Structure 1
Amino acid sequence: MAGTSLEVAIAAGGTAGHINPALALAEELSSRGHHVRFFGQSSKLEGTLVPQAGFELESIRVTGFDRARPWTLVSALVRERAASARVGRAFAERGAPDVAVGFGAYVELALMDRCRKQRIPYVLHEQNSVPGLANKTLAAGARFVCVSLPQARPAFRGRVRREDAIVLTGNPVRRSVLGASREAGRAALSIPGDATMLLVFGGSLGAQHVNEAIARLKGRLLANPGLRVVHSTGKELYDGVASSLALTEAERERWQVVPYISNMGEALAAADLVVSRAGASSIAEIAALTVPSVLVPYPLATGDHQTTNAHYLVDAGAAVLFADDSIDGEAFADDLLALVGDAERRERMRACARGLGQDRAAAKLADVVERAAAR
């Protein structure tokens, strides 16, 4: 909507996997001249990340319910109604939005309920291949349901007003990640420009089995003299991994072990190959920065959704997939070592990732939000 400034309300919270895509959309919308404010819980992660990014957060209080304890639904509904009333007061005091966007999780229910009552259009965005309950519940009233992965489409069929209300946008990635460069990333990590860099990470909590499998391959990996490894273990797992690797001073020059990577954009931009779990945010960032990857989905993820997530890259030719129970075998070791040594194969995988256009996801989602407001 060129020339028209919109008021956009966004609900996202609980985990970085919900909040960061929402912030990526907010950055894009702001760059187009729209005003964005968030609704969420100041006591949760959004209470830190949203103000840090320079956006307003209207604080509401909600709780989810435990399916194993159905009676908790009563208190959850009471708080959701109170939160909806709080959103209504915010609308009355500061003006109602032209359109709202929900990024899943129960924190969006109050905002979307208020929008439904006041006939304000709303859009939903689903990051995972297996949609959550909140988005499935709210889909019937949404102008559009945007999905990150094509595998999520079937879960919304029959729940939306029209088939064309389901739009594949990809999962938005923040500009700080998209703007990272190989040169800056390598400078930050002290990686020579002509080295091959392998990045290993399992999310903020780490992935113990992946850590163990990579540690066992230390000798074979370091036998490649041009290889540098950056290994993010997860904060709780760091001491155990460092002990099992038992790196010598010379080996530490080539194998960096860290508990957590604060600037994942720089690390991914610097990398030639990634070994990772397959969470929605990891998949989005790997695809956006077109890094060849070896994906090991977390086997206990709800509905095995990480395996489905991984197929977004695997089916495009941008990644290879190994089940968690297979990474102790020779096939995993052989393929990883072969990829480390095969620059041409990695470049073909990078080209396949580039073809997905994941770096344009925030813009595609912003286009849909503008369309929803215009109808």
Structure 2
Amino acid sequence: MDDKERKIVIFSGGTGGHIYPGIAIAKKLKNLGVKVLWIGTRKGLEATVVPAEKIEIKFINFSGVRGKGIRKYLMLPFTLFRAIWQSIKIISDFKPNLAISMGGYIAIPNGIVSIIFRIPIVIHEQNIIYGLSNSMLKIFAHSVILGFPKKKISEKEIYMGNPIRPSIKIKKISENIEDNKINILVFGGSLGAKKLNKVVPEAIAIVQKNNKDRYVQVIHQTGSTYDIAVEEYSKYDIKVTLKNFIENMNEAYNWADIIICRAGAITLSEIMKVGIPAIVVPYPFAADNHQYLNAKFLEDNGALVMIEDNSLSPDVISKYLENIIGNNELRVSLSRNIQSFSKNNADEDIANYLANIIDK
């Protein structure tokens, strides 16, 4: 098939966890000469970040209903019909060879239209458990690309990983913490985590008190609750750099000896690449408890330490920190085990896989 005829439509919206992997794949597809069209909503993050990457985008009107009240559920047949009609117009004009669902509520009407038009659908699921939209579409899918490893993989599934920022580089595993310094990186995703901001400072203070021969340093991404972190750290004599948002995560990873963070799929995929020992606190209100399930799989494989949110306390965090700091064998084991799950060229591998489906 001529390169000029190769067209792929991507539907994704809502959160960065769905959108940013899709952008990475779209850019690689464009490099292969594939024409890409994104379908999203004007109210989602995709409305700004997708055009900024010079990816063509069209919009339909649709929104999720989970947790939005009974009125949203009652209106669903009407809003879904409208979204399907809008999607029919866009997809029939574009005439794609292949459709990619990155998940999110936007995938439902576009998936239905793809099925009607007999356009093959490939799903990319970022987490260890399917989200609602991808769970519905996987029955009709040509194949499912898994962004996260899991124990049992069906015939239709293939583990290719989550595309992550190209700026993130592999970090060499070190058997020792150099110069008696302990560099601890704390972050709760792009928006931070209020509970980590409140609990971690005291935990660091305990570690510092019990390890006087070590020089403890902290970089802490606070997100929107910056003032809470400032107040908590002010109670202790800790060498800390507080940031609302860390622009250069590769630099932060290179600096860090240990990470404390949440358990989003993209965060964990980045840690798989850099191989830094991590203490992970799953966000308890994540849809379908996917953060816990992500972290639990890796913990069961000796790849990280997990603390459940309801068990989070300064004493618990400090205990695990000191265990990692004082045990070189454990630290190296955590690094090697989590790096063993890394798919370092996920964006390129996925793009090639999709292009090959069209070319067959």
TM range (shorter): 0.7 to 0.9
1:240 to 2:228 alignment: yes
Instruction: After TM superposition, give the deviation of residue 365 of structure 1 in Å.
Output: 2.8
Q: Where does residue 50 of structure 2 map in the other structure?
A: 50
Is the contact made by 1:326 and 1:332 (CA closer than 8 Å) also made in structure 2? no
Is the contact made by 2:259 and 2:276 (CA closer than 8 Å) also made in structure 1? yes
Counterpart amino acid of 2:165? Answer: R
Distance 1:51 1:314 in 2: 38
Gaps of at least 5 residues in structure 2 are: 173-177
Q: What is the correspondence of 1:72-87 to structure 2 with a 5 Å cutoff? A: 72-87=72-87
1:340 to 2:331 alignment: no
Q: Where does residue 9 of structure 1 map in the other structure?
A: 9
Instruction: After TM superposition, give the deviation of residue 180 of structure 1 in Å.
Output: 8.2
Instruction: After TM superposition, give the deviation of residue 371 of structure 1 in Å.
Output: 4.5
Instruction: After TM superposition, give the deviation of residue 275 of structure 1 in Å.
Output: 0.4
Distance 2:76 2:65 in 1: 6
Secondary structure of residue in 1 paired with 2:345:
helix
CA-to-aligned-CA distance 1:211-258 (integer Å, 9 cap, x gap): 2321112333444543321011221x211220121178xx57x31112
Q: 1:211 aligns with which of 197, 210, 213?
A: 197
State which drifts further: 274-283 or 360-369: 360-369
* 1:76/1:373 CA distance change after superposition, 3 Å: farther
Is the contact made by 2:187 and 2:222 (CA closer than 8 Å) also made in structure 1? yes
Distance 1:358 1:86 in 2: 36
Q: 1:167 aligns with which of 158, 163, 166?
A: 158
Distance 1:341 1:358 in 2: 30
Is the contact made by 1:62 and 1:107 (CA closer than 8 Å) also made in structure 2? yes
CA-to-aligned-CA distance 1:40-83 (integer Å, 9 cap, x gap): 01332101111222211112211222467455335333333333
Secondary structure of residue in 2 paired with 1:299:
coil
Distance 2:105 2:263 in 1: 23
Q: Where does residue 175 of structure 2 map in the other structure?
A: none
Distance 2:151 2:77 in 1: 27
Distance 1:152 1:107 in 2: 29
Distance 2:9 2:248 in 1: 27
Q: What is the correspondence of 1:1-375 to structure 2 with a 5 Å cutoff? A: 6-66=6-66, 69-93=69-93, 95-151=94-150, 163-176=154-167, 178-179=168-169, 195-222=181-208, 223=212, 225-235=214-224, 237-246=225-234, 254-328=239-313, 330-342=315-327, 345-374=330-359
* 1:152/1:314 CA distance change after superposition, 3 Å: closer
Query: Across the two proteins, how many residue pairs are aligned to each other?
Result: 352
* 1:364/1:262 CA distance change after superposition, 3 Å: same
CA-to-aligned-CA distance 1:86-140 (integer Å, 9 cap, x gap): 33333444x3111111111111123222221221111111122232221111122
Is the contact made by 1:128 and 1:152 (CA closer than 8 Å) also made in structure 2? no
Q: Where does residue 185 of structure 1 map in the other structure?
A: none
Secondary structure of residue in 2 paired with 1:359:
coil
Counterpart amino acid of 1:58? Answer: K
* 1:352/1:61 CA distance change after superposition, 3 Å: same
Distance 1:316 1:10 in 2: 33
CA-to-aligned-CA distance 1:300-349 (integer Å, 9 cap, x gap): 33443222101343233321112223332645312202323555543332
Is the contact made by 2:104 and 2:133 (CA closer than 8 Å) also made in structure 1? yes
Is the contact made by 1:199 and 1:273 (CA closer than 8 Å) also made in structure 2? yes
Distance 1:2 1:364 in 2: 21
Distance 1:316 1:45 in 2: 34
Over the aligned positions, Cα root-mean-square deviation in angstroms equals 3.0
* 1:52/1:363 CA distance change after superposition, 3 Å: same
Distance 2:17 2:74 in 1: 27
Distance 1:136 1:310 in 2: 20
Is the contact made by 2:188 and 2:196 (CA closer than 8 Å) also made in structure 1? yes
TM-score of the aligned structures, taking structure 1 as reference length: 0.82
Gaps of at least 5 residues in structure 1 are: 155-162, 183-191
TM-score of the aligned structures, taking structure 2 as reference length: 0.86
* 1:256/1:63 CA distance change after superposition, 3 Å: same
